[in-house]
Amino acid sequence: MITYVDRIGCENISDLESLIQNQFQGLFGGVHLLPFFNPIDGEDAGFDPKNHAQIDPRLGNWNDLKSLSEEVDIMADLIVNHISAESEQFQDYLEKGEKSEFNELILTEDKVFPNGASKEEIAKIYRPRPGLPFTKFTLADGAEKNVWTTFTSNQIDIDVTSKKGEEYLENILQTFEASGVTMIRLDAAGYAIKKAGTSCFMIDETFEFISAITERARAKGIAVLVEIHSFYQTQIEIAKRVDYVYDFALPVLVLDTLFNKNASNLKNWLAVSPRNVITVLDTHDGIGIVDVASEDGKPGLIEDDALSDIVEKMHENSEGTSRKATGAAASNLDLYQVNSTYFEALGRKEKEYLIARCIQFFVPGVPQVYYVGLLAGENDMELLKETNVGRDINRHFYTLEEIDQRIDSPFFQNFKKLIELRNSHPAFEGIFEVKDTASNILHLKWLNGKEWAELIVYLEDMVVEINYSQSSSVKKLNFI
């Protein structure tokens, strides 16, 4: 499960431990806790920490996290690209400039472009938001500095190649190790290395940085998941260098399969996709489009025209609510994603939504379920109106009462059966196969010795069969 501590009916980490032990008992072997650092309610919901090595006191402390780690595996974010503009380090830099002990930590334009960046060089820089990748700050002595701010002006990019940068990241890793964290997600790692004359995104030096920090984490018994939205061939290359990557292509490929009643694009992807993946349908961010799109004339996993139709279908299914949260409509950082819950993207149809989850749970990888998706949540228009942050449409604050009501629903009980099958059946530790079928039939099978499990989706009629071995007999999972 991937969740915020304070948005799933919990006030703190101890409450979350209780929720996992009770309402969600037996469902999850691990939990990715979205930023729980101080503070959790900055401009970017914790992704702009003032202190990355401190838990927000409202949620608890490192001992609480250690306790939770004895119940489930813990994944935490290592935010490698930036710190908060309100952090001690940046405030010291603003006051003292080049005399600050953190001077080399703060990445300024002139460190990458000593003579200033030309229009051509700036045009090359890959950015997740419109506008320049810099913000002008005035130091205490009146000097003005263009500071790298890839995301927002409150997220100050750091020089990860400097000694101070290495010390900063090492301190966080040591804190994680001592507190029972067994996996990290490298957040925004693709933007971490800046080099004049390049896109400053996933360049050769970025790969080297990812490899180096992966080695440092592994030495502490911590596995590494790299979070990159990019062209699918780039994702395949990254997967060779780390423990895990996200299968960000899957969410849109599943929509393509269900919308068009054609599994051809999904089958093509499964023939080449990495196996060391965390599979998702939804996350705390939007539904990624760039992951299946074309790039620089190279074809993507879905033809561009068909992809545009899929995006439009998502907006139609949500009755236009996703359109109000996407692109320039709602202060978005990432223009390459559609902001919507996955349930809304499928028109709030529980049958189709369960089929989508069946596909996710039968493709290779470790399935990860976002807390809103676990409860088949709808777009939160009240929260969107309150914050005007597009991604908040899929970041609902659940009460414990809402959760209790939802887990009693037929939908959740059916979803629970699927999760339990995926967790317990030995076939999923074996060999994966995509059976050769017509494009309107998807047949996925796992085989481990005499144990097997299969999913067959008849897309024309949206009929599903799940069959599996049990004590030398054939069992069916019937819930759709």
Picking from 411, 444, 69, the residue whose alpha carbon sits closest to that of residue 250 is 444
Q: Note whether 37 and 44 are within 8 A (CB).
A: no
Please tell me the number of Cα atoms within 13 Å of 385 on its side-chain side: 5
Residues 6+ apart with CB under 8 A from 469: 427, 450, 451, 452, 453, 475
Give exposure, 442-471, as e/b (b: 16+ Cβ within 10 Å).
bbbbbeeeebbbbbbbbbeeeebebebbee
Give exposure, 335-364, as e/b (b: 16+ Cβ within 10 Å).
eebbbbbbbbbbebebebbbbbbbbbbbbb
Q: Within 76-152, where are the H helices?
A: 88-96, 109-112, 119-124
> Parallel, antiparallel, or unpaired: how do β-strands 287-288 and 277-279 relate?
unpaired
Please confirm, yes or no, whether 204 is among the known catalytic residues: no
Picking from 45, 44, 46, 79, the residue whose alpha carbon sits closest to that of residue 158 is 79
Q: 7 by DSSP, 3-state: which?
A: helix
Please confirm, yes or no, whether 187 is among the known catalytic residues: yes
List the catalytic residue out of 64, 77, 187, 247. Answer: 187
CA distance 133 to 242: 28
Q: What angle do CA 102, 103, 107 make, to 5 degrees?
A: 105
Residue whose pair of structure tokens reads 């690209």 in the numeric block: 81
Strands annotated E in 29-151: 30-33, 37-38, 51-55, 73-79, 82-84, 134-138, 144-148
Q: 315 by DSSP, 3-state: which?
A: helix
List the catalytic residue out of 48, 227, 334, 352. Answer: 227
CA distance 95 to 436: 65
Query: What are the residue numbers of the active site?
Result: 187, 227
